[in-house]
Amino acid sequence: MILPQRRSADDLPRVLLVSSTLDDDGGVPVCVGQLAEALGAIDVPVGITGQHAGPIAAVVRGAEQRSGVAVNAVSAPWHPGGQWQAARRIGAVVRETAALARAEGRPLVVHLHGVWVAPVLAAGLAAMEVGARLVVSPHGMLRHEALRKSRWRKRAVWEGCLRRMLVSADALHVTSPLEGEELAAILPGCRPVLVPLGIVPPADAPRGRAPGEPRRAGYLGRILPIKNLDVLLHAWKLVRPAGWRLAIDGPGPAEMTVSLRQLADRLGLGAEVEIGGAVPMSRLGEHYAGLDLFLLPSRSEAFALTVGEALACGVPTVVTTAAPWGDVEKRGCGWSVAPTVAGIAAGLASATALPEADLEAMGRRGRGWVRADYAWEAIARRHLTRLYGVGDDAGGSSRRA
């Protein structure tokens, strides 16, 4: 694909990114903040809105401070009353942004990130009301595994307004072929648009370990059942690679962390497994530099930014086929395995049996690939042409064929 040349700022739409959360606890606000900065870097006027109940994600605040991205954050608790309060305010933000775009003589794009919370739904309805171009990125929230959680509440939302909103959207954005296939299965006739996310390589940090220190394989991400971390522990128990330790890090409910620690103890893994908390964005480079192998055991993933970050830092990966990173095998920088005990154990056995120099060579191949193919500026331009209707390459509407 030939990327468009830089356009005059007057030719570009105004974009409002609506995040399902602005709390500093997940991948959606990271993606939203990084996309906003990348759009701003190619002269697109862009803003961010969404609900938060705690500290706003550092990457969103960074976009505001470094790049002047307008952040209209709505503080409200995550109970039904708080969500409806936020929904009213965010609907108003869409209408205010539409008035600003009209005054500038620009079209407006409202890009929803996530689908289930009331503020996002309100933003979508307001976008339809003001005639904005509506783009929806479900971020895996409409995949089969995700739909199994809170099934009856989600069915009510689906029948109440979400299905109509998706059918009316100008583009449905997916980040993997499998996500597109599953979306088409629940919304027959839609035509999802495949555009990957970009990767911001974490700051380089010195690698290396003290003599005799074990090598480290690690998972980083939210501590949730869908991440399959119990299966990872059972797989580690099968392999028990000599001279290696397993690290599991990320935010999540305290009871999940306690449950994983108890499972590790019951399996007799003891000191072989470290379970920690969230890693600040400012320390990501240091964190990945301390790993020799990155692990993603998930049962379902829309994209998995952490895989791209690890590869960008030169860390080879074992990922499951539930994530859109199967090319790690073709690129010679990892293993793609079934999200089962046997599948993950096979990947672990192969990876941990390799000499250190071979793993380092795989890491270098991954670093070169991700930094070349997932640079955010190129991905932002693909958002403009494939999703936002700029130029001749704006095909792929979600509307029925």
Task: Give the pLDDT of residue 7.
Answer: 52
Which runs of E-coded beta strand occur in 144-214? 171-174, 193-194
How many domains is the chain built from? 2
**Is position 129 within any domain?**
yes
- Identify whether 3 is part of a domain: no
Task: Answer yes or no: do 87 and 151 share one domain.
Answer: yes
On the question of pLDDT at 47 being above 70, the answer is yes
Inside any domain, residue 206 = no
| Residue 144 confidence (pLDDT) | 81
- Locate 210 and state its tokens: 């003290």
pLDDT band at 8 (very low <50, low <70, confident <90, very high): low
**Whether the predicted pLDDT of 395 surpasses 50:** no
pLDDT digits (tens, 9 = 90+) for 196-221: 999 999 988 888 777 788 999 999 99
**361, 378 in Cβ contact below 8 A?**
no
- From the number of C-beta atoms within 10 Å of its C-beta (0-12, 13-18, 19+), residue 216 rates as middle
**Pair 171, 241 in one domain:** no
Mean pLDDT of the chain: 91
- Residue 157 shares a structural domain with residue 276: no
Region 346-360 average pLDDT: 96
Q: What is the CB neighbour count within 10 angstroms for residue 203?
A: 14
Six token digits for residue 164: 């109509």
Q: How far does Cα 250 stand from its chain's mean position? A: 14
Let me know whether 167 and 148 are in one domain.
yes
pLDDT at 27: 84
Strands of the sheet with 293-296, listed across from one edge: 273-275, 244-249, 215-220, 293-296, 317-320, 334-337
The mean pLDDT value for 93-110 works out to 97
Kindly state the tokens that stand for 112. Answer: 């929803």
Cβ contact 335:366 at 8 Å: no
Residue 204 counted as domain residue? no
CB 234 within 8 A of CB 246: no
Give the Cα-Cα-Cα angle 116, 99, 166 (nearest 5 degrees).
25
Question: Is residue 393 assigned to a domain?
Answer: no
The pLDDT assigned to 252 comes to 86
63 plus 87 within the same structural domain = yes
Query: In terms of residue numbers, what domain contains 263?
Result: 215-373
Q: Are residues 92 and 233 in the same domain?
A: no
Q: Are residues 140 and 110 in the same domain?
A: yes
Residue 148's φ and ψ, nearest 5 degrees, are: -75, -20
Q: Is residue 340 located within the same domain as residue 226?
A: yes
Does residue 312 sit in helix, strand or coil?
Answer: helix
Shared domain for 127 and 269, answered yes or no, is no
Q: Per the structure block, which two tokens stand in for 93? A: 């933000």
pLDDT for 210 equals 75
> What tens digit of pLDDT does each residue of 288-316 get?
999 999 999 999 888 899 999 999 999 99
Asked if the structure places residue 161 within a domain, the reply is: yes
Cβ-based neighbour number of residue 181 at 10 Å: 12
Instruction: Tell whether 343 is covered by a domain.
Output: yes
Q: Do 23 and 167 reside in the same domain of the chain? A: yes
Tokens for 399, please give them. 């509307």
Residues 367, 380, single domain; the answer is no
Report the phi/psi class of residue 211: left, alpha or beta, with left for phi > 0 and alpha for psi in -120 to 50.
Answer: beta
Is 63 part of a structural domain of the chain?
Answer: yes
Q: What is the CATH number of the domain that holds 82?
A: 3.40.50.2000
pLDDT tens-digit map of 52-84 = 999 999 999 999 999 999 999 999 999 999 999
Tell me which of 143 and 23 has the higher pLDDT: 23
- pLDDT digit string (tens) for 129-156? 999 999 999 998 988 878 888 888 889 8
pTM listed for this prediction: 0.85
| Residue 396 predicted with pLDDT over 90 | no
Element holding 347 (H helix, E strand): helix 341-353
C-beta neighbour count of 234 within 10 angstroms? 18
Give the position of tokens 């991954």: 366
Clarify whether residues 143 and 234 are in a common domain. Answer: no
The structure tokens listed for 388 are: 């936002």
